[in-house]
Amino acid sequence: MTAVYYVIRDMRHEDIPEVMHVDREVFPNDWTYRSQLAFQRDLENPSIRYIVACTVGKSLSSSREAKSRTNWVKRLFNYCWDDHTKDAIVGFSGFWMMLREAHIIAIGVRHAHRRHGLGEALLLATIELAASLNAGVITLEVRASNEAAQALYKKCGFHVVGKRLRYYSNNNEDGIIMSTDDIHSLTFQAHFQQLKRTHAEKHHNIICLVP
């Protein structure tokens, strides 16, 4: 058997073309796509952060993994910071900060890499990164028909706070507004840390290098 390894890291300028492909695949019905120039401006804006999920080289045998997880993680860390390495971007997440609110711009994973825990991993990393930047709450909009995404957000501590009527212009679909409570509260953090532990135990092949 083989195991595909993924790493979640900060987005770089050279990632933009691949992230644009993911954007178009995951959000084909949105009213506009983020352009290369828009992504470039976002990466230069200190109030906006993007992270990516990428595959790590070729698949590795599970027996090799079992021999030395510690050495593998060290190699992985060095690999991910090698500027000459070309990773295959399979997912991304972005948010912008306004005062103490982090608003999620988008979270998406390519169809072929779904059901591997990457969507949840990106969301957990986004929450932790926002917390490290002193965000108090995190908000987002999601299509009313996207029940799978809403279920994931609720699992991670979001709840419905409103609705934007006919928010999505391609089909006049409503947008559901969701928000967390204070992400630094004891209640939220207890739930969040348990989610992280459970996810890490289930998905050993996803390594997060942010925040």
Cis amide leading into 211 (omega within 30): yes
Question: Residues in the chain, how many?
Answer: 211
159: which strand partners? 179
- Is 153 known to be catalytic? yes
As a whole number of angstroms, the distance between CA 94 and CA 114 comes to 18
The alpha carbon dihedral of 184, 186, 189, 191 has a sign of negative
Q: Is residue 168 among the annotated active site residues?
A: no
Q: 164 near 141, Cβ under 8 Å?
A: yes
Q: Are 85 and 92 in contact (CB under 8 A)?
A: no
Active-site option among 25, 128, 153, 167:
153
Assign residue 166 a region (left: φ > 0; alpha: ψ between -120 and 50; beta: otherwise).
Answer: left
- On whether the CB atoms of residues 130 and 85 are closer than 8 A, the answer is no
Grouping H, G, I as helix, E, B as strand and the rest as coil, residue 81 is: coil
CA distance 52 to 89: 7
Task: Collapse the DSSP code of 11 into the 3-class scheme (helix H, G, I; strand E, B; otherwise coil) and give the result.
Answer: coil
| Catalytic-role residue among 5, 18, 120, 141 | 141
Provide the annotated active-site residues: 141, 153
